[in-house]
Structure 1
């Protein structure tokens, strides 16, 4: 065993203990804050510290100048007002988030703001001579309680520790929330926090030099230099009264996380009796016609979350025609660019589509639909934001779930620009994804912002008006189902195959346990034992240390596994990710052998793998057997991918297509096959479902079977079980299923916890 793992856990424990001592000392006590789990615990204040505080206060002239503000703050504290109650409520919300084993962006921001405000309040109360001894003691006691909860939260989610460092970077969201809490508390806001932020550049400074301008764009702009005048009176937003001081994004997300509220689909109009919209020779299905009819009636923003294979591309193309949302910008994964161009020309043959490749040298500037992939969007921000698009479609919208990524920022900035420049501020905005939720209900945040339903901190004007009209606040239990319904009516459209495509054949997933050969099997088991021993050693050290007396076994297990996962993401070497990759390599030959047998017996087969070396091994084995193959992987051009898809679907000599889970798992039609082999397991049920639904989609005439190759007697089997247990996230949030506690953690985290729990139980 290497020396490195030995140093990991003591480092975490020492950091948490040091934090607890620092916060407690700052609050004027001599005990560790980690020994104070409740805010209300009583701690006596050191008289010497109070004396030093008074001396420091006499030396501070600024406090004397602001004595009137200080007296006002004093009165607020006396009446349980001011910043302390806000900190107490916020820290409880942080504690609840940390208890779930992970902190989302909102919780992390709130955690950081609490730490900043707590330090400022400590400094104020210790140096302000106008504060009485009794008030100082009471304030320090309550701040000590806040410090204790912060320390415990950091122990549960070790990634929070860095936010407590004095020099931790302060994000814009943190500054905004801090300013908001100070205003709510009636406390003076520092001058630097009142400064108006400069107007953001349309193109981030770091991307300016990368901007390109395709030939013909200037001619197109000169041909139509003016936007149509907006003669409609501006609607005045409904003032927020009841909900003015409530944080609402968290409760809105919670309303979906709880589930049980029925299907997440807005009320759609009935389909017209005769389909006069689709071109000759094509006909929309009933569920597609109802969506298009909603667009015809004037609705303009949609999260179109139909299950994969129900024709979302066709619905979007026709929706743009009905809304006259041209020019239309379509942002897609690279693998489906060519297919999107085909679908646009197929469903709206009177419209021209152009695909943007690289620097856009071959762009048709006078086209109606411009199709660009996420990867090159940053090069085209400048001209796209000035082009005057009247609509935007984001395909596989779950790819923008991380609002901090450059990809998401590009999409959101373009959408905002389109809203600002479209007459009536009402462009057609459509987010397409059959799997909007991958790991967490927070995945909704970026999509809602793209659609204009929310901004970074609060609901948008229309949604806020809807919520205000309800007459409830998040303190009322009735708020949650009613708020969920209001968000759905903003434009969530979700239909399931089982409900709208009754003639679609069945789909099933079959696990195929395989025994690894003796040498590879021994290596995998040895690696698992090494990981298990490392986790167990870290658990024993923590259990016997300072935190062992404070935290439950479950909390210690969670802390150890969270740190292990954090280290695994940041470093190479033996960890859960490298182990799963080694298992995939060990299964490659067995999976290829099974796929070859299927190809000979039932016809075409789709072979999915996660890693290039597994794909290469499979292609080599198929070639040795004389089986015709083609492949889809991340390093191909869009044209090469489309050619591979066409060969597989149309060439009888091509029996197997070897696909990357990430490159071909979305937006690809492979329904020439009815059998799928999953050579490696995904980390999410959503990714697995997306892959299978490349085959199980409208037009498929045979039952679809996905053969999942699982290495028996390894953690591969446990991961397969956990993926299945996580399948309920979309069902809970979008299909109205009841909440399940097992969905709180990622599969990686649950895998590590399972390994450690089994090791502890086996002793």
Structure 2
């Protein structure tokens, strides 16, 4: 059985098709061989003919494993005694043994704890250059003195639940000022080549030079967070430095590092890391392949870690978030005061709870309570969550740990103002009628669901208990909207709010492209954003028919192709339009050669829209930036536009000190469905009254 299985793995390696399943089989074979060696030594007299024959057969399998491992560094790492055994490997090992009638031990069959999320490690690899680095530096040991001892349990705050009040403090305690820690005045301007840091950038670098080591750098998009992070790492001597970024900006980070910190070699991790420089000072990796490399990252000896677009880790149950949090924990355990930086111009996407993962990455809190430094600061306030001044004081304690938020209007007066202009378009009669009919069908379906739920309700709701002036049960409306939203997310077909938005985007594609072409011919380069691939395809076909040259920037491109297309748009005067994916190109890119943006499709969040606009509205822009939102009149499109605008106040309240009323957790999708159902019920009420 082992001989047959190992030949299958060898053949896959020869064809360069080492998939996660092949790695799991390789590891399972290695584990069984190790067990068999031990069993034979225990069962057969040493030196016996039977023992020698069995060992020889196993040695032949070991030789094949070794030859195969040479072809793939990821397989080589699985031969180590301490290699992490994945669930896939355990399962396959049980299956292989079952083929020859061997039962596994009961504890091996036991499933993992239900409340402990498992991480698939079957894809993990170790690049060969990293193994070479480890061999070249065999005496480098981790410095475990870094682990700061937790303070003795505070007597005054002992027993208080503190995380919720800390988060709430950012909603309640708006004092009219942006959330920003005190920053030192810079000593002198830093110049790299023909680039000079602006004063607000210098302040953060000076803070790192003074010894501050954790930052939530939440500057508005376009204020140069990448340069600040690179030079802060240089000031803190936080090398080697790990930088985790969206795939679309990997190449840009390498370029920026080459310009701002040219004396520190940078390597970019692609795929399995075959071309990784294990001796580089700066290692840049994207979220999508982080799971393959998290094993050797944890042992590499990083002294600093930067997480770009840190709102990507807001979902703590996701694999990417768990990997990021695991790495930050390892770095804090092995390094004296590491530099940890979370970069995002939009740290809050849905609600204030989005802060949790970022604060945990920075080491300010753990799963249940503040860590020692924050707890000490809260103790020094002399307040408890029951005291009136607690929220303002607690917010200040968190800010002083390293929140840095600067607005363009405050620190970069030379950047022109931006504005968003809505362009209402009328859809083709046939298409428009079809979309409006779909909206009515959706509303009727929700009304029927509402009526059924209301009829089946056991208790009677009084007018004072959630019924508005038209007799509508507002609580039930929100529940029905939640049911519809859940069904829509799980649906594979049929008409729902997501399908409608896609149809609207398709219907607007030609109109939006026509307008972008008009702007390009009259005002110069234009950035065209769309959410769906078919909308981008339709726009590009339109531009081709009109003889307009364009660059396409999408999520499925290799970094080299994407960068070539970016360079064509920014450098070639004949390339008039950049056709960009709203999700793949909405972060990290510098497209300031254009001052006009066309948003062909609406995002579900103001943050995503803002990120897209700030690809052009950033330092170095010399003209006013206008974002043209193409909105389909008389459809749900216009309703969503208003909702995402009203949602924009959350970050303003939490970080900029605004007193505007904001939503805490309701999202635009849910509120859209609530509005559709409410309008339908009111229309029915008016009809019945008439």
TM-score, normalised with respect to structure 1:
0.72
Task: Identify which of 271, 294, 298 aligns with 2:186.
Answer: 271
Following the alignment from structure 1 to structure 2, what is the Cα–Cα distance between the partners of residues 455 and 233?
14
* Cα offset, 1:742, TM superposition: 4.0
Contact 1:288 1:315 in 2 (8 A): yes
Following the alignment from structure 1 to structure 2, what is the Cα–Cα distance between the partners of residues 741 and 313?
30
Q: 1:421 and 2:334 equivalent?
A: yes
Alignment of 1:38-117 (within 5 A): none
Q: 1:171 and 2:95 equivalent?
A: no
Provide the secondary structure at the position in 2 that maps to 1:664: coil
Distance 1:614-1:280 versus aligned 2 partners, 3 A rule = closer
Following the alignment from structure 1 to structure 2, what is the Cα–Cα distance between the partners of residues 718 and 696?
26
Provide the secondary structure at the position in 1 that maps to 2:617: coil
Following the alignment from structure 2 to structure 1, what is the Cα–Cα distance between the partners of residues 632 and 615?
24
Distance 1:738-1:744 versus aligned 2 partners, 3 A rule = farther
* Cα offset, 1:221, TM superposition: 1.9
Distance 1:706-1:548 versus aligned 2 partners, 3 A rule = farther
Q: 1:493 and 2:493 equivalent?
A: no
Alignment of 1:339-738 (within 5 A): 339-422=252-335, 424=336, 426-547=337-458, 549-550=460-461, 552=466, 553-572=473-492, 573-738=494-659
Contact 1:674 1:704 in 2 (8 A): yes
* Cα offset, 1:278, TM superposition: 3.5
Contact 2:147 2:332 in 1 (8 A): no
Distance 1:619-1:496 versus aligned 2 partners, 3 A rule = same
Following the alignment from structure 1 to structure 2, what is the Cα–Cα distance between the partners of residues 689 and 730?
12
Following the alignment from structure 1 to structure 2, what is the Cα–Cα distance between the partners of residues 693 and 546?
49
Distance 1:311-1:528 versus aligned 2 partners, 3 A rule = same
Following the alignment from structure 2 to structure 1, what is the Cα–Cα distance between the partners of residues 418 and 281?
38
Question: What residue in structure 2 maps to residue 36 of structure 1?
Answer: none
Task: Identify which of 141, 157, 169 aligns with 1:227.
Answer: 141
Following the alignment from structure 1 to structure 2, what is the Cα–Cα distance between the partners of residues 490 and 293?
15
Q: Which runs of 5+ in 2 are unaligned?
A: 1-112, 467-472, 685-690
Alignment of 1:332-343 (within 5 A): 332-343=245-256
Contact 2:646 2:662 in 1 (8 A): no
Contact 1:665 1:687 in 2 (8 A): yes
Distance 1:636-1:548 versus aligned 2 partners, 3 A rule = farther
* Cα offset, 1:258, TM superposition: 2.1
Aligned residues: 560
Moved beyond 6 Å, runs of 4+: 230-233
Following the alignment from structure 2 to structure 1, what is the Cα–Cα distance between the partners of residues 135 and 415?
49
Alignment of 1:750-761 (within 5 A): 750-761=671-682
Q: 1:257 and 2:177 equivalent?
A: no
Following the alignment from structure 1 to structure 2, what is the Cα–Cα distance between the partners of residues 369 and 419?
18
Contact 2:311 2:347 in 1 (8 A): yes
* Cα offset, 1:239, TM superposition: 2.8
Following the alignment from structure 2 to structure 1, what is the Cα–Cα distance between the partners of residues 321 and 237?
26
Provide the secondary structure at the position in 1 that maps to 2:640: helix
Following the alignment from structure 2 to structure 1, what is the Cα–Cα distance between the partners of residues 246 and 603?
19
Following the alignment from structure 2 to structure 1, what is the Cα–Cα distance between the partners of residues 572 and 274?
32
Contact 2:649 2:662 in 1 (8 A): no
Contact 1:726 1:743 in 2 (8 A): no
Following the alignment from structure 2 to structure 1, what is the Cα–Cα distance between the partners of residues 663 and 406?
25
Contact 2:435 2:500 in 1 (8 A): yes
* Cα offset, 1:441, TM superposition: 0.7
Following the alignment from structure 2 to structure 1, what is the Cα–Cα distance between the partners of residues 626 and 142?
53
Provide the secondary structure at the position in 2 that maps to 1:462: helix
Question: What residue in structure 1 maps to residue 198 of structure 2?
Answer: 285
* Cα offset, 1:554, TM superposition: 1.2
* Cα offset, 1:547, TM superposition: 4.7
Question: What residue in structure 2 maps to residue 42 of structure 1?
Answer: none
* Cα offset, 1:539, TM superposition: 1.7
